[in-house]
Amino acid sequence: MSTNTIRHKSRSQPRPLRRGTNLLKYIQDVGQVSAAALLGTTMIASAVVAGGLVGLAISFRNLPDVRVLRNYVPSETSYIYDINGTLLFSLHDEANREVIDIEDMSPHLKRAVLAIEDSYFYSHNGINPSSVGRAVMANFQAGATVEGGSTITMQLVKNLFLTPERAISRKVAEAVLALRLEQIFSKEEILEMYLNQVYWGHNNYGVETAAQSYFNKSARDLNLPEAAMMAGLIQAPENYSPFTNYEYTKQRQAIVLNRMRQLGWITPEEEAEAKAAPLLIGEIKSFRSSISPYVTEAAVQELKQRFGHDAVLKGGMRVQTTVDLAMQNMAEATVQRHNARIRHIADQMSLVAIDPRTHFVKAMVGGVDYQESQFNRAIQAHRQPGSAFKPFVYYAAFATGRYTPSSSIADTPVSYPDGYRSYSPRNYDGTFMGNISIRQALEVSRNVPAVKLGQAVGINQVIEVSRTLGIRSPMQPVTSLPLGAVDLTPMEMAGAYATFASNGWHSDPTFIVQVTDSTGNVLLDNTPQPQLVLDPWAAASLTDVMQGVIARGTGTAAQIGRPAAGKTGTTDSQRDVWFVGYVPQLSTAVWIGNDNNTPMRSGATGGTYAAPVWRDFMQQALANVPVENFRRPSEFVQP
């Protein structure tokens, strides 16, 4: 059958009502009414109800139009996976549900549900007055509720359209709507909607999520004992749940099996075997936490910006993220390991790794312990990058065509007007080296040459380059900007350096590869569409110089035994230390600092603290990745 019947958006999803056993309790408590008299009375009342339905229908002209179900879909759980298909997280509103076709449901389950809920489903037209009498007799003889009085069609319209506040007239309304529903939909369509709609306990709506929770298997694979147990839950799911009382669950299962045998749908031997079979119970999955919460929260935020809150929580999305779980685990373990080493000087650390070829985020760690702090420092913490910002200035200089890595620049004292005072940049060690090459100035991270170069090319031009590289944080055109006088995120830094690594090809970093709905229709295809935003010669020249930072400059602690480029970053007050670097296949930013922004101890630098973290992670992440050389500046035309 077509699945369009039940797969369309809905704004709200009423919680299915549970039918109790109060009629049976009344019979047992009073104990003075004979079965025959009770049956006669019930059938007379049923006949009155049936005979008056046509007239009563006139009073229910304002009831919902059941034809809307042709364009209706229950809210469904969305699932988030890593790039290789490993489930990271599932998210949903009140209803944890996965809709499946009736052909994909176990025949045992369908028979078990019909046996206990509506054994005459295929022979009535939505209401079955005589079934009330049969249900009363069956329940009286069994000493327990073995069959309900409402049809499955009536239960479905009750769950979809009616609320407890309409209790006085609800039964008649159910009957009228059930008649209408049976005129429009086939029995198979109604049963499919019912089984996908009904509440099975522990926030599981629909048979598929229930089967996955109770038995760690799909609904298509349920055997007879499991199916009978599932069918027995419908009347009072939490009460009959095996997670609550396994013995009670088995008693309820036996009632279902007995009813199936009475109907001739299973043999006495099958009944006995199913009753004796132990149930291998799974676990409650509706409220499980994410495998990588920093990642999945960032992915959900990106999804909500694209699709909206309700679509993400109720739309049954299948989201393939860019993150490689194996690499993510490496990143998390690396951060925790190095945090243990340096926690006496800094309490937090974050790491972001991006593939320069796609700008897909491959790993992200927002802090040392998500359980202690859910604040994501990789994308939410804006901290000064220090000298890790200098490559933006040097690229801007190379892109003018007036400078090359061998150009000379003076590392000598200088002052600039700054309001009512002057600004005199100083080097980290307080000394000056005189005329030096741009290559040497960046390798050993001299401050004064960077400020002079920023003035030569124009601070506004440096800001423009930063914007081109994806920097969105506020930036002011201050003289000290080349030294990192701006607050940026590790995500922004890793993404910008990834564009350097790709010789100027840029895409906006993303956590999402593809999004489909539950039927496989593609909602978002994030196939990379990079654009060339930098001058390739200038980008290659910058990479060539930054290889020297690792080979013989301030970043020697980041050497990984293959061509790599990067830059250390340390703020004057030692509040933030960084190392951001890349190979052609991976760009990674590491930040270390204190959440309260207090300084670390004197002497803390990006080279001594952040670079070893970067090296540790990159060696693991690249263990099975072939060594690849950077393209040389000579391969491109100089502007």
Which residues are annotated as catalytic? 117, 387
Q: What sign does the dihedral 523-529-533-537 (CA atoms) show?
A: positive
Q: What is the DSSP string of 332-391?
A: HHHHHHHHHHHTTT-SEEEEEEEETTTTEEEEEE-SS-TTT----TTTT--B--GGGGHH
- Helical (H) or strand (E) element with 78: strand 78-81
Structure-block tokens of residue 172 = 């008649």
Structure-block tokens of residue 38 = 């009770």
Neighbour tally for 606: CB within 10 Å: 31
Calpha distance 528→525 (Å, rounded): 9
Q: What sign does the dihedral 453-570-561-622 (CA atoms) show?
A: negative
- Helix intervals (H) in 263-315: 268-276, 293-307, 309-314
Neighbour tally for 189: CB within 10 Å: 19
Cα-Cα-Cα-Cα torsion 310, 313, 319, 323, nearest 10 degrees, comes to: 110
Calpha distance 595→591 (Å, rounded): 12
Comparing CA positions, the residue from 501, 506, 511 lying closest to residue 469 is: 506
Comparing CA positions, the residue from 282, 273, 248, 284 lying closest to residue 108 is: 273
Q: What is the DSSP string of 409-457?
A: EEE----EEETTEEE----TTS---EEEEHHHHHHTT-HHHHHHHHHHH
Calpha distance 221→275 (Å, rounded): 18
Calpha distance 218→154 (Å, rounded): 27
